[in-house]
Amino acid sequence: MSVQTNSRSRQSLQRLQGISHLLDNAIAIPGLGYRVGLDPLIGLLPGGGDLMTGLISIYIVFEAARLGVPAATLGRMGWNILVELVLGTLPMVGDLFDVVWKANARNVALLEHHIRHPRPSRNADKLFALILIILLLALVIGFATLSVLIVRWLLQL
């Protein structure tokens, strides 16, 4: 890895660490020694909250792919987002799950590991990244739409 690439990787990692911290660990809960972020709070907004936080999570995967993270690691990152997306849409239980799961922090930790122990990416990894990002976008948009439709249906009752 060249000095310029290494510097760019560190800058990207610092930016993603900041985003992850804000979404998953920005607020200390007094007396518990536990931290939460804005992700579960934003997620309380039906549809729009999940869409916004989902897109930010996908951005982290996009940056990881750009930095050459191999397909296996990108797959784990996608899995973290999928679990948070599916279980996070459950009313109330999903918001509590978001507090504990912290997909963004998990994904940034995977990226940190890759930067410390780089493995060259292959063209297949780049194709996998593209397919993964497209699928995650479709799922995030789909779940956000479903959430809005459910809220509209409940309001009509």
pLDDT in tens, 40-97: 888 888 778 888 999 999 999 999 999 989 999 999 999 999 999 888 777 778 778 8
The length of the chain in residues reads: 157
Helix axes 123-156, 71-88, angle to 10 degrees: 0
pLDDT, tens digit, for every residue of 122-136?
777 889 999 999 999
Domain residues of the chain, as ranges? 3-156
Q: What are phi and psi of 108, to 5 degrees?
A: -65, -35
Burial 49-75 (b: 16+ CB within 10 A, else e): bbbbbbebbbebbbbbbebbbbbebbe
Q: Please identify which residue in the block is written with the tokens 């804005």.
A: 38
